[in-house]
Structure 1
């Protein structure tokens, strides 16, 4: 497929959700009045997100896999000439998988919501018009974040997602939703202000905001002081979104309060924006600054791995009143720690592992939040002690297909070989074991050992969750009220995530073949 066709596909994928968001707010057509306008607007969300998914899949099919390091489907138009800001779009082997992941998860969330509309824990449900419009605006901002190639446009797209996610949590969330939503917006906005200063510093000192030109220049026109200052500012802003310990504290509250689809998109897509920014901006544009801060980034990453795992283990134990949504949120702190460790290794192996782990985490954690939402619907709570009771929830006996999927998500998350969670974390540790030139190998070997210990803790808490939720006293379980197994719409929404988790684990070259040449170009072709 020629580049012009790809260019139109990418532009359409970015514009269609915006038009769909506007359409969701309009009055329903006359033929729908008196029927079900609520279902009509939810169907509208499924249609628009489905169309966007088709566009991104066709874009991926037409992508030239022989040259994944080259920006394809490019558009470059003057937008604000006085500020040298261009409407510059394009995709390569790094951004393409994230575009498809975003479109897939948003479509599955819209499909799930059509059959199971989100309802606040207390009070009447707001209009589905607002929900669909916010969902589509969130998709547009996220897709744009991965497709724009101008620093100022990146910042605008990065900020666009904050408002819809805030309202999704504040209006459709559970307990303490307003406080959790406010904490989410305050943390991320403060981080974004600092990030903007770093982006402006790079653009002004280099004389351009064009991300392709800046990456090609590889920081040669920026002094070491400018690079260090820029990476510090940009890194802090992106670390909040990643989230990196100790800037993670907004995440568990946001996940616990968010509706199911909000948690899926927050963990599956929004967290990736932070690590993507480190790879796309900080690594190639200010390599000297990244080299200075890489050991500190690696240290924070491994602390986050162990801290997140210990927090999850505490929540998983009986009597601690652990919320399963909160547990998975803390697990994201640990898993994203592996992504940060891979980036901090400053090696091709480590960065490829980080990019693979990004996609794997989106698939696996998206599936897990869907499953926890289903358990909460059936039991009325996501409290682990309530779910397990005294003898275990015995999902294997009461709802075997649901229990099997919970077990699949858990073992994929702990990094079982043959599933998607394995490759990213292993490659990140391999990269850290042999770090880039000029980095202390003894320090990084220590970081690798600590990260490996974190994998053992991950296995401990996830197997504890499987034992308490999936196993139990069969006789006691049969005496309890019947529990619905996987419903048809749940099967449709979850099967793609489970299938891709297995496929990525068995065929990692499909993803690594896209990312590796692009990563090589980030390191100057070395």
Structure 2
């Protein structure tokens, strides 16, 4: 069964699902959601079966489940797929998050019809491209998937996002295209440095090339800029808060939780493996950028009133930790960064989706429009707290293990950088706990709702000036007693999570807890990939009693 094309199948199933969802007759549009969910679950099942064929013992080749076919032989381009432990872990994370996101997005497009079909079809197309990007072992094929992911995301933001969706979608597209075009030049130049031939773009063919120092550095910069934009790192991060804030929560999950990982994945797969000497040369600058990302984004998160923007800024900070661990280039920091990529995907999904559940009920993204919601939606309040605690890396939850490994590994080689990064850990506790406090704690809010379900919050008999969407009140001084009795409800009438939402929350919380208490299977899967990376870079872990050496110790 090891010869079965698992990776191609993982890409084809959601693509077929997208076609089926799109072609449903008008009278059957209501089937779009269950059909899309069914195809995503089938993809997950095939992914799990594929994972059982992956061997984690010693002596295995770098890539397993490989498929290699000549695609454009005149240009040396192959249709080549394969996974190591890192790629497999990220693919499995993606396959789990897609059905969770689809279930959470059940009511994202209430008008139904073709518009709803297109929305769910685009999510499935995006799944195909995500799998392709993580599985590609041909550099040009990777570039194709890297750019193709922009198409469904652009339409998901631009057609279904918030009031500033067009601005956010165009900004996302321009930033990504800029990075992609620079990388394309570097991809072509890299091919010219290799031996060429029908399979001249294979990662295995381009690994270990002998290049001049200046050429290797230029190629490294070309790849790194594209990955830094995608990651996103300061100062090319500004597209992310806009895109995440204007997206539907399910789209934000796949954008920040999965697509952005292609950036940090690419730094390990291509920057470190193909350009090891240039990676060492660039390490001081990259570490400074990572530290700025950690601290700046954490401070920016504290100042946000928009919940979705706050979560987006926390992700910029977390990506700083991931990049710091990558370029510290120790076994502990690298395995911590790879695990961080997986854990961050699930933590971000929980934060975005639970915030989305709250926004559906409160009709506002602004933190100041809330307070005391733990008293009227206790289940939502509880899972929101757990997601927040995972975001600040509380021991016992998934993020703690990966963040701890990154910090320990960084301290092994760069004590000063590790000390600065600790500031980000402290600030994370501040922005998460402040958000949870301001949204969930306090006195029970009083609510007035009209027949259309719009809400106003307050307990003084007047409409509060908080920006909460409300069509019941035309004048700020309209009093509650002036509203018809049948339009009045108290806070207890706001429903807590329903069965569908509890299913989403239960799965995510279970993952956060299991990966927090039992990360060993994930670490065992990732460890061989880390060893391969260290071998390609040519560095050893520093001696526990040796002085830190910024260049690493050569083998």
So what's the TM-score if we normalise by structure 1?
Answer: 0.90
| TM-fit CA distance, 1:431 | 1.9
Who is 1:49 aligned against? 40
| TM-fit CA distance, 1:483 | 2.2
Who is 1:175 aligned against? 163
8 Å CA contact 1:151, 1:203 repeated in 2: no
Establish whether residue 464 from structure 1 lines up as the match of residue 456 from structure 2: no
8 Å CA contact 2:294, 2:320 repeated in 1: yes
Who is 2:218 aligned against? 229
Distance of 2:492 and 2:363 partners within structure 1: 13
Distance of 2:49 and 2:444 partners within structure 1: 48
Establish whether residue 17 from structure 1 lines up as the match of residue 14 from structure 2: yes
SS at 1:524 equivalent:
helix
8 Å CA contact 1:119, 1:172 repeated in 2: no
1:190-245 deviations in whole A, cap 9, x for unaligned?
Answer: 01111112222222202331113333x2x4x2222221111111000110000000
8 Å CA contact 1:14, 1:144 repeated in 2: yes
Who is 2:531 aligned against? 520
SS at 1:264 equivalent:
helix
Q: Which of 29, 51, 58 is the aligned partner of 1:60?
A: 51
| TM-fit CA distance, 1:502 | 0.9
| TM-fit CA distance, 1:118 | 3.0
Establish whether residue 400 from structure 1 lines up as the match of residue 378 from structure 2: yes
Distance of 1:294 and 1:126 partners within structure 2: 49
Structure showing greater radius of gyration is: 2
Who is 2:3 aligned against? 4
Establish whether residue 370 from structure 1 lines up as the match of residue 353 from structure 2: yes
Structure holding more helix per residue: 1
1:380-428 deviations in whole A, cap 9, x for unaligned?
Answer: 01110112xxxxx223321111101011001111011111111222211
Who is 1:440 aligned against? none
Distance of 2:256 and 2:143 partners within structure 1: 20
SS at 1:88 equivalent:
strand
Who is 2:450 aligned against? none
SS at 1:434 equivalent:
helix
Q: Which of 496, 502, 516 is the aligned partner of 2:507?
A: 496
8 Å CA contact 1:504, 1:510 repeated in 2: no
Establish whether residue 325 from structure 1 lines up as the match of residue 301 from structure 2: no
Establish whether residue 86 from structure 1 lines up as the match of residue 78 from structure 2: yes
Who is 2:259 aligned against? 270
Distance of 1:79 and 1:475 partners within structure 2: 62
Distance of 1:126 and 1:258 partners within structure 2: 19
Q: Which of 297, 308, 332 is the aligned partner of 2:297?
A: 308
Distance of 2:354 and 2:338 partners within structure 1: 25
Distance of 1:519 and 1:206 partners within structure 2: 25
Distance of 1:81 and 1:418 partners within structure 2: 51
Who is 2:418 aligned against? 448
Establish whether residue 338 from structure 1 lines up as the match of residue 321 from structure 2: yes
Greater mean alpha carbon deviation, residues 396-405 or residues 473-482: 473-482
1:24-73 deviations in whole A, cap 9, x for unaligned?
Answer: 22243xxxx64xx2221222211111111111111112221225663111
8 Å CA contact 2:56, 2:528 repeated in 1: no
Distance of 2:98 and 2:446 partners within structure 1: 39
SS at 1:209 equivalent:
coil
8 Å CA contact 1:98, 1:359 repeated in 2: yes
1:95-121 deviations in whole A, cap 9, x for unaligned?
Answer: 0011111111111122223x323359x
SS at 2:237 equivalent:
coil
Establish whether residue 128 from structure 1 lines up as the match of residue 139 from structure 2: no
Establish whether residue 419 from structure 1 lines up as the match of residue 418 from structure 2: no
Distance of 1:168 and 1:193 partners within structure 2: 22
Establish whether residue 95 from structure 1 lines up as the match of residue 87 from structure 2: yes
Residues paired across the two proteins, number = 491
8 Å CA contact 2:139, 2:202 repeated in 1: yes
8 Å CA contact 1:202, 1:226 repeated in 2: no
Establish whether residue 429 from structure 1 lines up as the match of residue 407 from structure 2: yes
8 Å CA contact 2:108, 2:248 repeated in 1: no
RMSD: 1.8
Who is 1:72 aligned against? 64
SS at 1:79 equivalent:
strand
Greater mean alpha carbon deviation, residues 177-186 or residues 415-424: 415-424
8 Å CA contact 2:109, 2:115 repeated in 1: no
Distance of 2:65 and 2:52 partners within structure 1: 12
8 Å CA contact 2:373, 2:440 repeated in 1: yes
8 Å CA contact 1:69, 1:518 repeated in 2: no
SS at 1:523 equivalent:
helix
Distance of 1:326 and 1:278 partners within structure 2: 25
SS at 2:109 equivalent:
coil
8 Å CA contact 1:69, 1:521 repeated in 2: no
SS at 2:393 equivalent:
coil
SS at 1:4 equivalent:
coil
Distance of 1:491 and 1:481 partners within structure 2: 18
Distance of 2:85 and 2:444 partners within structure 1: 49
Establish whether residue 246 from structure 1 lines up as the match of residue 246 from structure 2: no
Distance of 2:380 and 2:35 partners within structure 1: 29
8 Å CA contact 2:30, 2:113 repeated in 1: no
1:276-307 deviations in whole A, cap 9, x for unaligned?
Answer: 00011111110011111111111111111111
Distance of 1:475 and 1:273 partners within structure 2: 42
Query: Alpha carbons of 1:87 and 1:475: their partners in 2 closer, same or farther (altered >3 Å)?
Result: closer
Distance of 1:298 and 1:423 partners within structure 2: 21
Who is 2:104 aligned against? 112
